[in-house]
Amino acid sequence: TLFLTARKYLGFLSSVKVLAHYKKRIAHKVSFEFYLNYLLRHLKPKRFYTGNKEDRFALIEKRLCNENRIKTVCIPHGLEYAFKMPAGLVGNVFYCNSQYAKDYLEKLYDGKIEFVFDRSIVSQMFSRHVKTQKEKQIIFFPESREWEKNLAIIQFLKTQKVSFYVKLHIKDSLDHYRPFIDESTLINDFDDAISNSICLARKSTVLLEAIYNHSIPIAVLVDNKDRAYFEFMFPALNDESIRKVYSFEELQSLLKG
C-alpha cells in the first residue's frame, strides 16, 4: 500500500527509496498494532491514556480504541502543532499546554475533540517539585537540532561577559560549542536547571516548564525560522509568562535589567 501510494504521487524511483526508508518503521508499526490490539481486547479498559498526539502510533491507538469503544485521553508529549493534521489528533479528550492552545485547537478541529486546559494538571506535568533558595542563575537550554543557532547565542553571551550555564539536550554534544564553553559551564541536573532560574531557549517546551518551576522563561528569537516556528507552529508558546526577545540587543537589555 505504501509503495503504490508513493508511486502515485512521487513516481517509481522515488517510491523505491520511500519503501527502503520505511521498511523498518513498517515492522515497528505492525508489531505495535498487534500487541496493542491484543491488550485492548483482553484487558478491556474503560479509558486509554496516551502521550502520542499525531504520529503513526497515535493513529493506531485512535483507530483501535474506536473499534473497541474505549475512551481515549491524550496528555501530549511535546508541543501541539498549529496546523490541522490530516487524520486529526488522538483523544476524545485532549489536555492542552496553555489556554491559548486550547482556544486555538477548538477552532481548528471544529469541536470534534474535547480540548481541556487545566492549570493544576499542567503544573503536575511540568513541575519538578524542587524547593530551592538559590539565587537565580542564567541557564541556556540548546535544542538538539541546528546547533549552529545555539552556538550563535552562546557566542553572544560570552562576548557580553554574561555569567551563564548550559543544560545540553541529551542528543546534543559539548563538542559543538568548544572552545566557547567547557565542562565547567555545564549543568547536568535538569531539575536543578529548570528550577528558580532564568531560562533561555529558542522554541522549546522548556519555556513552558520554566513557568511551573518558579523560573523566568525567555524565548531567544533572533533567527527568522525560529521566530516563525514560535509564532505560527506552536500555539502553546503563546503564553504571556514567556518573555520574547527578537535581537541580541533586546536580550542584552533584558538580562542587564
Q: What is the pLDDT of residues 113-171, one digit of tens each?
A: 999 999 999 999 899 988 777 788 999 999 998 999 999 999 999 999 999 999 999 99
Q: Is the dihedral of CA 94, 95, 97, 101 positive or negative?
A: positive
Provide the pLDDT confidence category of residue 93 given band limits of 50, 70 and 90.
very high
- 147 in helix, strand or coil? helix
> Given a cut of 90, is residue 209 above it in pLDDT?
yes
pLDDT of residue 2: 85
Give Cβ neighbours of residue 23 (< 8 Å, ≥ 6 apart).
none
pLDDT of residue 24: 86
Burial class (CB in 10 A: 0-12, 13-18, 19+), 190: middle
Q: Is the dihedral of CA 40, 27, 170, 231 positive or negative?
A: negative
The answer to whether the CB of 126 falls within 8 A of the CB of 208 is: yes
> Given a cut of 80, is residue 43 above it in pLDDT?
yes
Provide the pLDDT confidence category of residue 243 given band limits of 50, 70 and 90.
very high
The answer to whether the CB of 61 falls within 8 A of the CB of 45 is: no
Which residue, chain included where needed, has cell 525560522? Answer: 225
